[in-house]
Amino acid sequence: MREALKEAKNALGQTSPNPAVGAVLVVDNQIVAKGYHRGAGRDHAEVECLRDFGAPVPAHATLYVTLEPCSTEGRTAPCTDAMLQAGIKNVVVGAIDLNPRHSGKGIVRLRNAGVNVREGILADECAQINEAFNKWIVTGRPFVIAKCGMSLDGRLTRPAVEPHWITGRSARSHARELRAHVDAVLVGAETVRADNPRLTIRGTRSARQPWRVVLTHSGKLPRRARLFSDRLAARTLIYKGRSLAGVLKNLGKRGMTNVLIEGGGEVLSQALDARLIDKVQLYLGPILTGGPVIAFAGRGATNAANALRLRRVSYRRIGQSVCITGYPEVLPSK
């Protein structure tokens, strides 16, 4: 299953609004074929894997797949049908598909056909790789990642003299890799005015450019900004006078499963105050800047008990910067 997970990771950022899935075929304890879902409308991982094998499947072979095989027809035929036609007799499944159209039905279909199915193998890891899809398919709202580079005193303010970056080159490169895994990158109008960002994928193998989304109160934006004048201008969306929650809902309706908020401080604050953040990825640079532009200002928590706390926190040193990743705790309903 870990090898199947490696295959699934090849699909990250390429399959939306479908999940990333990997599969491997094992015969006599040897992996003889691999496959992953390469994009919406293309063959699913199981079919890719069976094609990679390219021969009649022995009865004692086992197909490992990170996500429950689909049993309904969409852009492609049901994977369960392809597996049964290939003569698969043993299947190991990682996570159950949360899509209400599919959930549990693929496993039932296979078992009713006499296939030996084991489920729940590395289930948490297999589910986490599709954390964005899992939220979107159940709620209709995209998975929201809040990302920024900040000083040790929590500022986004850049010093007035060179070098003007808060974090190092390697940390900035690492941060840009996130763009290759999301459907949209979202910023506020002030970030467009002050930084004139590209919000493009650079330095990665991915050719899939996410949508670029701008929130503005006034609608007064510099028309010569890169977002509106470069070769990707058609992939820029402008939302005027809309709440962040409303924008995210609309992006979900457009089939965007995950959104990366890259700034600035006002948008990040809105996301924090409204508890719209599903994951944070912060880059701390070894610098103290002071200044008025705070990364997460907003209204603030009335006390420590009401603060947004993170779980599954990880720390990674990248050059002289530190990357902190975590997931906000979900508070129980009153």
Q: Do 26 and 57 touch, CB atoms closer than 8 A?
A: no
Whole-angstrom Cα distance, residue 73 to residue 68?
15
Q: How far apart are CA 2 and CA 169, in angstroms?
A: 32
Distance CA 328, CA 242 (A): 24
Tokens coding 320: 């002289």
Name residue, tokens 């992953």. 36
Q: How many CB atoms lie within 10 A of CB 267?
A: 23
Task: Return the closest-CA partner of residue 169 out of 283, 260, 261, 268.
Answer: 283
Catalytic residues: 46
| Count of other CB atoms within 10 angstroms of residue 256 | 24
Question: 326: burial class by Cβ within 10 Å (0-12, 13-18, 19+)?
Answer: middle
Dist. CA 5–CA 144, nearest whole Å: 23
In the three-class reduction of DSSP (H, G, I as helix; E, B as strand; rest coil), residue 132 is classed as: helix
* Separation of alpha carbons 69 and 113, rounded Å: 14
Amino acid at 219: G
Question: CA 78, CA 57: separation in Å to the nearest integer?
Answer: 19
| 67, two tokens | 């996500």
